[in-house]
A and B are shown apart, each in its own frame.
Chain A
Amino acid sequence: MTASTTPTSPDDLAKALDGTGYLADAGLASAAFLALRMGRPLFCEGEPGTGKTALAQALSEALGLPMVRLQCHEGIDAAQALYDWDFPRQLLHLRALEAAATASQSALDVDAVESSLYDRRFLLARPILQALQDAPCVLLVDEVDRADDEFEAFLLEVLAENSVTIPEIGVVRAETPPLVVLTSNRTREVHDALKRRCLYLWLEHPDLARETAILRRRLPDLPAELADQVARAVQALRGLDLLKPPGVAESIDWAQALQLVGARHLDLASATATLGAVLKYREDADRARDKLDALLAS
């Protein structure tokens, strides 16, 4: 798929995503397709490691669009998300003008100097402004649940208008709205007003067949048997009632780790040696180690 063609059906889009190594199921493909065609942001929620962020990356690759990423954190504000003036450079510019005027013994035109200060070259475009300037593109607003409520309200405004007003310059509006993907880990419930603007996609861990396919896709050198065993073991681990059940990212890491230690198949020794790639809590590792025998036998 090239940048010029837009997908005509969810299947079409799924194929394009497949080409980038991202396996999308029917729901995911419909979600991305509808988001694209309806011009609505896509709000992805789900367990960590279910491929929310990867979806945005895959979309940008599949559609041939640039990706702009806005990582949210506590205390993020408009200046970090929208734009800021490059204050030191403005000052330098001013000093340079002053010096030039002194050298040439001429008077400075105050109005001209002032308007030259608010030139585009002194404007630092932060992710949202950049996305509006670069549109069409994919704008990933990552972990929006970490930002404050106030920021959410602000985001809502920008998403609704698809434009940003800079008092000194004017309105920056995107001709084609960027494809916005918001992700949330549900550490906090995002306000309904924001969700209402979006298509809502709840992502779950993939089933066995899909997980095997993902492993083989991401790690082409992985032996089929090992991929199958890893997927089975990870599925079983998710059923173990762990503090942090492994996501797809972890199973890919695990398979890669097994490959690196030269394991041809998953046995007790290789699994114990590489367990740190898939389980990140001591309690989880202990619990899994006890049941590893049964787990590998199944």
Chain B
Amino acid sequence: MSTGDRGGSSDGLAPRPHAGAVLASGVVETLGGDTDLATEADGGPDAVLEDFVAFTRLVRNAGVPVTTDRVAAYLQALRLSDLTSEVSTYWAGRLTLCADPDDVVRYDHAFAAWFSADPRDQRMGRPAPPKPRISTMAALTEPPPGSGQDGEEEETPELRVAASGEEILRDRDIAELSIGEREHLKSLLALLRPAPPKRRARRRRPARRGEPDPRRTLRAALANGGEIGEMHRRRRRERPRRVVLLVDVSGSMSPYADTLLRFAHVLTRRTPTSVETFTLGTRLTRVTRELRQRDPERALGDAARAIPDWSGGTRLGEALRAFLDRWGQRGVARRAVVVVFSDGWERGGAELLGEQSARLARLAHKVVWVNPHAGKSGYAPVQGGIAAALPHVDRLLAGHSLTTLAELLEVLRDA
């Protein structure tokens, strides 16, 4: 099967070389066979179908979440399309396989690679994303209370520190922790129980106290033959207010970035639909979708792969503007509690950052700036970036340790 080999030739594309064929025959069966496609091309019906199904595998490998039902829809669309026209073949796939503007870009790449004659295009592999700075070394497990004795000799001192020093660990600066302590911190982070901020919803629900509910009162009266028995009351519902986390992942913040993303994951798991997370660096990346996964390691791993500018430079003002243009103003930042995790080191002009912070403050319900350096003695917010943003920030907090992050949770709850 030449087409399958084509899809499988580039590295990392094909765990199973003939998966395309297997999938193709499955889909053909579900469609009840297909003779229309055969008349359009030189090969038999299966050969043409396999070619197109193999193409969907390439699209999937390019990063578009293509599922079998989408492939079925694609084949159905192809049947209705003019296969001799490149335009209609292109659109048949784009309309059925994509589900997001980002998908469209990936699809375009894949389409160009598959249907172009230039074999160099067929690799189509995007450059591998930079390795994230996540500690992958085998780390110390969290010492269960009271069983710190069975560790190996050289580990014992550190274990003892961790076991007895939980309170100390809570207050320590994250940047100064050893790998073992970081592992322990992860488990402590997972124990945080964040309470989301609340907003009043538009709709009311029956309640014991609150304003009178004429409709329910009258309905109850009707049941009693027109006699008002009891005054029913109603109250506005409360719903979780959206929390938007903007995490600076530039070089100067890299000791904190992993912990902050982990913190974001804890928040996201608590109220998945009302927490949005973006990373700021030289560009803006949305990692909400990655962080919604239950498993923290997988969530963090996927998020790290999605971030192209890990430990790069900072263009805070521009990244903030990108956030406001693409997401914030459309609704994500509106009435939300926005938390910016950044040290405020700005390589671009501070003027833009000030302007964008003002814009953010106008949109958001509350803006909280978390600066890991704010907790250190002798800190004064005088750096260009933070000085420009500070007038538009409701609270400036330290976020360098677990205790300060717990404080942030309290601020969020009361926001």
Contacts and interface: CB of A to CB of B under 8 A. Distances in A.
Interface of A: 9-10, 26-27, 30-31, 33-34, 37-38, 40, 45, 74-75, 91, 145, 149, 185-189, 192, 195-196, 199-202, 243-244
B290 to A, nearest CB: 13
Nearest to B76: A38
Interface string B68-82: 011001001100111
B202 interface: yes
Contacts of B94: 27, 200
Contact of B331 (A10, A33, A188, A201): A188
Interface in B180-224: 201-203, 222
23 contacts: A9-B82, A26-B88, A26-B91, A31-B95, A34-B77, A34-B80, A34-B91, A34-B95, A34-B96, A38-B77, A75-B203, A185-B330, A185-B331, A188-B332, A192-B65, A200-B94, A200-B95, A200-B96, A202-B98, A202-B101, A243-B329, A243-B359, A244-B329
Contacts of B103: 200
B273 interface: yes
Interface in B94-114: 94-96, 98-101, 103-104
Given A27-B94, A38-B73, 5 more contacts: A30-B91, A40-B73, A192-B65, A200-B99, A200-B103
Contacts of A30: 81, 87-88, 91-92, 95
Contact of A37 (B80, B96, B99, B359): B80
A196 B95 contact: no
Contacts of B96: 34, 199-200
A27 B80 CA distance: 14
Interface in B344-392: 359
B67 A196 contact: yes
Given A74-B202, A200-B99, A34 B92 contact: yes
B70 A196 contact: yes
Contacts of B325: 243
Nearest to A28: B91
A201 B103 CA distance: 11
A91 B226 CA distance: 12
A225 to B, nearest CB: 32
Interface in B302-331: 325, 329-331
A149 B100 CA distance: 18
Name the residue among B80, B98, B201 with the largest chain A CB count within 10 angstroms: B80
B398 to A, nearest CB: 32
A138 B95 CA distance: 19
A186 B325 CA distance: 12
Contacts of B67: 196
Give the 8 A-B CB pairs with smallest separation, nearest first.
A187-B331, A30-B91, A195-B99, A199-B95, A75-B202, A187-B330, A75-B203, A37-B80
The secondary structure that dominates the B interface is helix
A284 B93 CA distance: 38
A108 to B, nearest CB: 16
B99 A196 contact: yes
A187 B327 CA distance: 7
Given A149-B273, A185-B330, A26 B87 contact: yes
A187 B331 CA distance: 5
Interface in B119-174: none
Interface string B32-44: 0000000000000
A196 B91 contact: no
A94 to B, nearest CB: 10
Contacts of B87: 26, 30
A255 B103 CA distance: 35
Contacts of A75: 201-203
Nearest to A33: B80
A33 B80 CA distance: 9
Given A26-B91, A202-B104, A196 B329 contact: no
A26 B85 CA distance: 11
Contacts of A200: 94-96, 98-100, 103
A215 to B, nearest CB: 25
B298 to A, nearest CB: 18
Contact of B88 (A10, A145, A187): A10
Nearest to A87: B219
B348 to A, nearest CB: 14
Interface in B40-75: 65, 67, 69-70, 73
Nearest to B237: A75
Contacts of A186: 330
Nearest to B325: A243
Nearest to B80: A37
B99 A38 contact: no
Contacts of A149: 273
Nearest to B222: A91
B343 to A, nearest CB: 27
